[in-house]
């Protein structure tokens, strides 16, 4: 469904991605793990076109999207719930969700999407007319995921959805990610919490300073010595 081959991305002169090869198949949960500054967020930004790769290719369902602008990529069905939530603070919860559906015009289906999201995150319904900037961190995280889902993505990219959440809520978020996947959405999950991520994922990639160093079934990664030492703290 999504394929990155030999992707190099730069911030000015800094080479943040040094040749990424990555593939996601339909209906999978794939997780991308790595330590701080490894380039996880950069990989997601490059996929959605916020950062243009200097060399390399990205294709989505067989179409080359390497140089497609971000709004078009969203429209094609790749939605990102970005690191740090990035919700619109002075818009209401409802308006934030509306923005998520910005590229869609199918009224009836949009209505279904709202219902689905209020179903997944009942708290958002009770905060519907509240300014998003006044939500708690956890609520904002749910809003960010809900907003990305409003785009009716074929592929959902999640950048550290559990960051800063209470342990209880972390569990809930991972459960929801599984649920969203069951409902038919393919997921690329970036996480610091490598253990939880690998437990729900089908496959995983390990990123180190801009390079993929490991790639395998999630179960195998969970058992591998390298991963256990470096990312699971054992």
Ligand X SMILES: Nc1ncnc2c1ncn2[C@@H]1O[C@H](COP(=O)(O)OP(=O)(O)OP(=O)(O)O)[C@@H](O)[C@H]1O
- Applying CB under 6 A, the residues found at the interface with ligand X are 11, 14, 16, 34, 36-42, 83, 192
Q: Is 86 in the site for other proteins (CB under 8 A)?
A: yes
Taking the least distance from each CB to ligand X, the nearer of 52 and 182 is 52
Going by C-alpha positions, the residue among 139, 159, 108 that lies closest to residue 116 is 108
Selected binder of Mg ion within 83, 95, 98, 208 (CB under 5 A): 83
Q: Is 10 in the site for other proteins (CB under 8 A)?
A: no
State how far the alpha carbon of 131 is from the alpha carbons of 100, 113, 141, 147, in Å: 16, 21, 14, 14
Taking the least distance from each CB to other proteins, the nearer of 48 and 214 is 48
The nearest distance, CB 40 to ligand X, in angstroms, is: 3
Identify which range of 2-10, 14-22, 34-42, 79-87 contacts other proteins by CB under 8 A: 79-87
DSSP 92: B
Half-sphere exposure of 134 (CA within 13 A, CB side): 9
Q: What part of residues 103-122 is at the interface with other proteins (CB under 8 A)?
A: 103
Strand 186-191 relative to strand 155-159: parallel, antiparallel, unpaired? parallel
Contact between 147 and 96 under an 8 Å Cβ cutoff? The reply is yes
Helix (H, G, I), strand (E, B) or coil at 122: helix
Residue 14 contacts which entry, other proteins, Mg ion, ligand X, none (Cβ below 5-8 A, type-dependent) = ligand X
Contact between 48 and 220 under an 8 Å Cβ cutoff? The reply is no
Helix (H, G, I), strand (E, B) or coil at 134: helix
The helix or strand, by DSSP H or E, that contains position 182, with its residue range, turns out to be helix 167-182
Contact between 41 and 20 under an 8 Å Cβ cutoff? The reply is no
Identify which range of 21-29, 86-94, 182-190, 200-208 contacts other proteins by CB under 8 A: 86-94
Helix (H, G, I), strand (E, B) or coil at 144: helix
Taking the least distance from each CB to other proteins, the nearer of 74 and 193 is 74
Residue 95 contacts which entry, Mg ion, ligand X, other proteins, none (Cβ below 5-8 A, type-dependent) = other proteins
Contact positions vs Mg ion (CB under 5 A): 40-41, 83
Contact positions vs other proteins (CB under 8 A): 48, 50, 69-72, 74-75, 79-80, 82, 84, 86-91, 95, 98-100, 102-103, 133, 147-148, 151
């Amino acid at each position: 469904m999504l394929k990155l081959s030999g992707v190099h991305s730069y911030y000015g002169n800094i080479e943040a991605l040094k040749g990424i090869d990555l593939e996601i198949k339909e209906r999978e949960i794939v997780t991308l793990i790595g330590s701080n500054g490894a380039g996880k967020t950069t990989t997601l930004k490059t996929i959605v076109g916020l950062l243009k790769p200097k060399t390399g290719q990205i294709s989505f369902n067989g179409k080359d999207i390497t140089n497609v602008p971000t709004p078009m990529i969203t429209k094609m069905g790749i939605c990102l719930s970005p690191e740090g939530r990035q919700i619109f603070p002075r818009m209401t919860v409802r308006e934030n969700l509306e923005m998520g559906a910005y590229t869609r015009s199918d009224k009836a289906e949009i209505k279904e999407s709202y219902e689905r999201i209020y179903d997944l995150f009942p708290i958002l319904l009770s905060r519907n007319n509240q300014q998003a900037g006044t939500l708690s961190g956890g609520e904002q995280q749910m809003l960010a995921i809900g907003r990305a889902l409003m785009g009716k993505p074929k592929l959902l990219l999640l950048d550290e959805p559990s960051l800063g959440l209470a342990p209880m809520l972390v569990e809930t978020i991972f459960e929801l990610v599984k649920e969203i996947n069951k409902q038919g959405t393919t997921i690329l999950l970036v996480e610091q919490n490598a253990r939880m991520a690998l437990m729900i994922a089908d496959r995983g990639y390990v990123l180190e300073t801009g390079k993929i160093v490991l790639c395998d079934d999630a179960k195998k990664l969970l058992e591998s010595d390298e991963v256990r030492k470096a990312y699971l703290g054992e």
